[in-house]
Amino acid sequence: MSVNISKVEVFSFENEKITFDHFKGNVLLIVNVASKCGFTKQYKGLQNLQNKYESKGFKVLGFPCNDFGNQEPGQLEEIKKFCSISYGANFQLFQKVHAKGKTTEPFTTLNKVSPAGDVEWNFEKFLINRNGEAIARFKSSVEPESIEITKAIENLLD
């Protein structure tokens, strides 16, 4: 089941309210990120994806989340600095959110994507097409540069 997120409101890194309409025309990979997780090394792969496909209209959007094992306790500025220094990651980060239980956007809406349900851990990934429809969901263990994700991105960029 695809879910349209175009009108979903989120808060940018600068704490400005925006909707995903802001990104219309781009293919997006939305990820709940954490700096102290076993999957944190995926920051590098996420940045590599953005570097590889950005010129074709692809963006990675990271939403820091402290819901799983308190693995994202820091403030936004230190999270951004950590990502940049440790992994060379400079893709767009947003305000911290909740991804399970009493969730906040974008996960309140994204959790309806098949298989529906709360995000289960850090670095779960949602692929959004150019029309703002969430069309695929990838569990934390699926590496950003896996064939499964890169083929799905390439299909949407063609």
Name the residue among 35, 81, 26, 78 with its Cα closest to residue 55.
26
Q: pTM, whole model, 2 decimals?
A: 0.96
Name the residue range of residue 89's domain: 3-157
Q: DSSP state, 146?
A: S
- Given a cut of 80, is residue 1 above it in pLDDT? no
Mean pLDDT of 61-65: 97
Catalytic site residue from 37, 46, 79, 136: 37
For the domain that residue 47 is a member of, what is the CATH number? 3.40.30.10
Q: Which residue has tokens 């239980």?
A: 101
Quote the pLDDT of residue 101.
Answer: 82
How many structural domains does the chain have?
A: 1
Show the tokens assigned to 7: 């009108």
Average pLDDT of 53-57? 98
**For this structure, is 37 an active site residue?**
yes
